[in-house]
Amino acid sequence: MTRRGSRPLDVAELVERARQGQPRAVARLISLVEDAAPPGTGSGSDGARGQLREVAAALAAHTGRAQVIGLTGAPGVGKSTSAGVLVGALRKAGKRVGVLAVDPSSPFSGGALLGDRIRMQGHALDDGVFIRSMATRGHLGGIAWATPQALRVLDAAGCDVVLVETVGVGQSEVEVISLVDTTLVLLAPGTGDGVQAAKAGILEVADVFVVNKADRDGADQTVRDLEHMISLGRREQEAGSWSPPIVRTVASRGEGGHDVVDAIERHRSWMVSRGELDTRRARRAEAEIQAIALGQLRARLGDVRRGDALGDLTKRVVAGELDPYRAADHLVAELDTGERGAWTPGAV
Amino acid sequence: MTRRGSRPLDVAELVERARQGQPRAVARLISLVEDAAPPGTGSGSDGARGQLREVAAALAAHTGRAQVIGLTGAPGVGKSTSAGVLVGALRKAGKRVGVLAVDPSSPFSGGALLGDRIRMQGHALDDGVFIRSMATRGHLGGIAWATPQALRVLDAAGCDVVLVETVGVGQSEVEVISLVDTTLVLLAPGTGDGVQAAKAGILEVADVFVVNKADRDGADQTVRDLEHMISLGRREQEAGSWSPPIVRTVASRGEGGHDVVDAIERHRSWMVSRGELDTRRARRAEAEIQAIALGQLRARLGDVRRGDALGDLTKRVVAGELDPYRAADHLVAELDTGERGAWTPGAV
């Protein structure tokens, strides 16, 4: 994959090729999204940021068609394998599928691990499937910023379904996963009981529960725990609300993929009937706008940092001479006055 | 716990009482931190935000003494139980201990679960221990914002050690945990192999590895996997750098607490000898200032939202009439012009 140092992009041509579903063009656009992460998120380059604006403008009219599915769960439940099975079932149903594996792994040396790629390899040569691991590592906001934009690329490239797989169960990932059309939450017997799942904050965002490794001891107990928790939740809900179904799979043997696809379709029908799909899509667009705006503001803070106002303020806070609020006031005041000129409006 | 609706605080008196270690005053100050979460993070009230500035100013001169220890690991490894054992060992060493259980659980109905409290109950009546679960739920940035400030409260209250326990292993939690003095990463046999731990992004931030449930099958393999990964990492490191030790515990039987305390002390000595402790504390203060400044900027975006500029922009993005970058430009432009007057400088 070419990144920095590659020849300048002809954006119009690249977007046109991506719309035709050419994998290299799609890959290059997603790389651009990653490279364009806003200053202060630990990565990103100015050139990429400028081009991304052009790309975003070109894509806008061609998005909003893909069905966006989230897949999450604690480590060890079999997310990558399940993603592979789900892709298989969607392909059999004639869908073009994009997979975004959001991997915030290593804050320092990160990136996608080989294991994911290998488990997905069955689909690697299928030109109806586009698989991409996104290593939006480092600072807060990286995932929230890059994921919706990579989604737009796959959407414009003609994917009928985009599957967003998040590794781990942290706060920012819950946020990302809560912005899809349908969220699948994966559990497996023995990798943490219901209390652990509740701790992870993913029960409330689940539209469909998938109990994987359903051939193992404890699977029935996991299903019963879930049913119990769902029934507790339902008492407070209004009539006609969605009650997340529980689907059993054995992803390692390829079992259950069609049941998951059925559950997704039922959820989609329910959403359409209630206007919920439009609501979720508006929420996703809103979150994206806010993340970009916050990235712009963060970029201004980054400019202040280069002038080392922050370094001086930090020393005074560590010494106990200044509290962090007054330090932050000084930092923000710098934005509003002297440093304004250093910030280029229009470049995220 | 009194929260909103309680009588106005006499800040000077409250801070003085907290400095004397009075639990109710400490609890009230931490509640204030939680209530003061910046607009846009899903919680917080204006009154609390105003008072928090006063509190922060009063605390500034009394902080910087506590040793800050982070404890993290995937769900199911036994973090709460291990925290209890560690607190016991620290108490035997004569330390006053604060525990902050950072629990980003439920984005909607969150809060700390009973299980944690029960497991920590052995220490609940010990007045040398202050235990607090922080449910900084909802939006990105909540944890990064509130944790350092709650730390300051416990620090000023005379805690020799503050233990920050994070539930889960997401991006924002890795960020929080990377800002402590010493990070303990907990693993357990059978709850995910080395690859899963690597995925969680916690290997690089570990100063000490704790293999809990060391009496179980697979513990030796977990230790060997870790040793292998540490040795791979070391090749790239300079001489004199810290190599994270691996400590075995059986927290459910109270075994290994002292070994963990020994490892923490060795790490502290190494940090002091290399100037690393000062570096980490400066990094923590810097992150705190930036989080508050970003909270102020986010608050400005929140004001724009109330005017529903964001709602209109969202509709146009969903309709494909506008790309999210141009929408964000409009949003930021609102900050710089008309909405400025609506923002109260000095209120985070």
pLDDT tens digits along B262-310: 999 999 999 999 999 999 999 888 888 887 888 788 777 777 666 678 8
Interchain pair B107, A322: CB under 8 A: no
Crossing angle (nearest 10°) for helices B309-318 and B276-306:
90
Which span out of A62-76, A162-176, B163-177, B329-343 was modeled with the highest average pLDDT? A62-76
Confidence band (pLDDT; 50, 70, 90) for A179? confident
Adjacency order of strands within the sheet including A246-248: A129-134, A97-102, A161-166, A67-72, A182-187, A208-211, A246-248
Q: How close A191 gets to chain B, by Cα (Å)?
A: 6
Q: How close A88 gets to chain B, by Cα (Å)?
A: 24
Q: How close B116 gets to chain A, by Cα (Å)?
A: 10
**Span B248-262, pLDDT tens digits:** 999 999 999 999 999
Chain B residues whose CB is inside 8 A of the A32 CB are none
**Span B193-246, pLDDT tens digits:** 555 555 555 667 889 999 999 999 989 988 988 888 888 766 666 667 898 999
Residue of B nearest to A310 (CA): B286
pLDDT value at residue A177: 72
Confidence check: pLDDT of B346 > 50: no
Mutate to test the interface with A, among B19, B102, B289, B340 (most CBs of A within 10 A): B289
**φ, ψ of residue A253 in degrees (nearest 5):** -105, 10
**Span A9-29, pLDDT tens digits:** 688 899 999 998 888 899 888
Residue of A nearest to B148 (CA): A324
pTM: 0.65
Residue of B nearest to A205 (CA): B107
pLDDT value at residue A130: 86
Helices (H), chain B: 11-19, 23-35, 46-59, 79-92, 114-119, 142-156, 171-177, 194-199, 219-234, 257-274, 276-306, 309-318, 324-336
Mutate to test the interface with B, among A140, A171, A186, A280 (most CBs of B within 10 A): A171
Between CA B136 and CA B134 the distance in angstroms is: 6
- Return residue ranges of chain A for CATH 3.40.50.300: 64-274
**φ, ψ of residue A303 in degrees (nearest 5):** -65, -40
Mutate to test the interface with B, among A140, A175, A335 (most CBs of B within 10 A): A140
Mean pLDDT throughout B156-164?
Answer: 94
Summary mean pLDDT of chain A: 77
Contact A143, A79 (CB under 8 A): no
Contact A70, A180 (CB under 8 A): yes
Contact B169, B201 (CB under 8 A): yes
Confidence check: pLDDT of A108 > 60: no
pLDDT value at residue A345: 39
Question: Is the CATH number 3.40.50.300 carried by domain A64-274?
Answer: yes
Find the helix or strand (DSSP H, E) in which A219 lies.
Answer: helix A219-234
pLDDT value at residue B278: 92
Confidence check: pLDDT of A135 > 80: no
Summary mean pLDDT of chain B: 77
Task: Select the residue of A171, A191, A327 nearest B173 (Cβ to Cβ).
Answer: A171
Confidence check: pLDDT of A59 > 60: yes
The interface predicted TM-score of the complex, written ipTM, equals 0.76
Task: Select the residue of B61, B105, B192 nearest A75 (Cβ to Cβ).
Answer: B192
Helices (H), B72-210: 79-92, 114-119, 142-156, 171-177, 194-199
Confidence check: pLDDT of B137 > 50: no
- Residue-wise over A49-70: b if at least 16 C-beta within 10 A, else e? bebbbbbbbbbbebbeebbbbb
pLDDT value at residue A178: 67
Contact A208, A267 (CB under 8 A): yes
Nearest to A175 by CA among A151, A205, A155, A150: A205
Task: Select the residue of B105, B297, B324 nearest A288 (Cβ to Cβ).
Answer: B324
pLDDT value at residue B234: 64
Count of CA atoms in the C-beta half-sphere (13 A) of A240: 7
Contact B46, B57 (CB under 8 A): no
> CA triplet B226, B227, B229: central angle to 5 degrees?
65
Q: How close B66 gets to chain A, by Cα (Å)?
A: 13
**Span B79-113, pLDDT tens digits:** 888 988 999 999 999 999 998 887 654 332 223 33
pLDDT value at residue B9: 62
Mean pLDDT throughout A84-105?
Answer: 85
Say which DSSP state B339 is in: G
